């Protein structure tokens, strides 16, 4: 399985939806922001599920349809002019995408790692020493417990 970018061009809309979206000021920026947020949601879920991730904006091909369905739904909800295009089928696809995202976050199914994953293991944090350590000094008798 490979990991690939999803762009706003990958979020297919009907010609009528696209025509309305093209006439809205600032829609390109808003749509790109929504897509970025949804990709972040799924990447976070993948990491929560104990899978390896990469932070280059790519997603595994296995979740591509869910990312697209959720993004499309949120685009339709973002602009009041697109409300008439919020169909039951698209709502159901969004609900299924959210459910799948939550399953991934719970660890099922496992997601194949990217080619160059970032480290997701436990990191140890060391604190700097400030000043002399205070060592307790014992006398010979105290060390033997006498």
Distance CA 79, CA 23 (A): 11
- Domain positions in the chain are 3-105
CA 101-36-118 angle, to 5 degrees, is 70
> Quick one: pLDDT at residue 7?
95
Each residue's pLDDT tens digit in the chain (146 positions)? 799 999 999 999 999 999 999 999 999 999 999 999 999 999 999 999 999 999 999 999 999 999 999 999 999 999 999 999 999 999 999 999 999 999 999 999 999 999 888 754 444 455 565 666 666 666 666 555 55
pTM over 0.75: yes
CA 141-143-146 angle, to 5 degrees, is 45
């Amino acid at each position: 399985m490979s990991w690939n970018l999803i762009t706003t061009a990958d979020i297919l809309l009907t010609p009528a939806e696209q025509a309305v979206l093209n006439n809205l000021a600032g829609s390109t920026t808003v749509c790109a922001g929504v897509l970025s947020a949804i990709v972040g949601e799924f990447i976070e879920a993948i990491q929560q599920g104990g899978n390896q991730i990469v932070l280059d904006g790519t997603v595994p091909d296995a979740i591509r349809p869910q990312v697209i369905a959720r993004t499309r739904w949120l685009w339709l909800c973002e602009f009041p002019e697109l409300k008439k295009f919020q169909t039951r089928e698209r709502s159901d696809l969004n609900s299924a995408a959210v459910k799948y995202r939550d399953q991934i976050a719970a660890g099922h199914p496992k997601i194949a790692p990217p080619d160059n994953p970032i480290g997701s293991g436990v990191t140890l944090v060391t604190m700097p020493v400030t000043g002399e350590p205070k060592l307790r000094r014992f006398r010979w008798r105290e060390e033997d417990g006498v």
